[in-house]
Chain A
């Protein structure tokens, strides 16, 4: 069951109104390597994990990714909430605005809507854990692209936090991979 805590995991305050930046960081809100894909990936895989450490880490990192999704959504919203429509026209955010107004919505920076095909649960613990390790690296790389694109100090600050989280998650999944491998090996001997 999920309980919502009425605070962000990391204190976020954007430094500007910036519809272009909003249309870029939305990549991590609804894109293939973004936080929603990560959260659903891990929370979906957990049912078929055979050891308690894997069930715990997938549940907990999956939950943390939802908290990150909230951070990205908050930044997208803060970057555009005070803009008049005239300042949105002619920017990449105008296409988003035509459909969704100022509301965040899960699609990537190109406008491709979120899909469950961005992640998988194979029901095979080894395949699943390696997908997760790859996912964390792709997320880290995406944050590095976004850090290079950002000229807003408040946004960059939050992106750096989120990037470092991916590195820590990768380490945790790497440890889980070893534990799963040891478990799968031990099942070969009766």
Chain B
């Protein structure tokens, strides 16, 4: 998969949104088998997509949810409100491209 960062993130947003919707439905319908099957299928796709994304662009969650390359990617990779998606620490991430 050779998408740029923005397109890859969009794919994850689509998958995660569907998973959230199914999560809410299951909260009030815990014994709905079809919904649960769909939730598990999409969750697997989402987890795989996140692993690939994080390998390339850094972690989406911290507190032990994903490992980090050196230097500490969590702080240095772009934050959600930064639409220009450029890394703030030239020295630390000279290898990261502007998407």
Contacts and interface: CB of A to CB of B under 8 A. Distances in A.
Q: Do chains A and B touch in the complex (CB under 8 A)?
A: yes
Contact of B27 (A9, A73, A172): A172
A104 to B, nearest CB: 10
Interface string A50-67: 001100110011001000
Nearest to B20: A64
B28 A175 contact: yes
B21 to A, nearest CB: 7
Contact of A61 (B12, B24, B63): B24
Given A11-B9, A53-B27, A5 B63 contact: no
A10 interface: yes
B60 interface: yes
Interface in A151-171: 168-169
Interface string A163-190: 0000011001001100100000000000
Nearest to B23: A60
B79 interface: yes
Interface in A107-138: none
A11 B24 contact: no
B61 interface: yes
Contacts of A64: 20, 24
Contacts of B27: 53, 56-57, 60, 172
A74 B28 contact: no
Contacts of A70: 80-81
| Residues of A contacting B: mostly | helix
A78 interface: yes
Contacts of A77: 81
Which size class do B's interface residues fall under? 20 to 34
A52 to B, nearest CB: 8
A9 B28 contact: no
A11 B17 CA distance: 11
A17 to B, nearest CB: 13
Interface string A4-18: 111111110100000
Contact of A6 (B13, B20, B60, B83): B60
Interface of A: 3-11, 13, 52-53, 56-57, 60-61, 64, 70, 73-74, 77-78, 168-169, 172, 175-176, 179
Given A4-B62, A11-B10, 10 more contacts: A5-B60, A5-B61, A6-B79, A7-B80, A9-B13, A10-B13, A52-B30, A60-B24, A78-B81, A168-B24
16 contacts: A3-B61, A3-B63, A6-B59, A6-B74, A7-B13, A10-B13, A10-B17, A13-B83, A53-B30, A60-B23, A74-B81, A77-B81, A168-B21, A169-B24, A172-B27, A175-B28
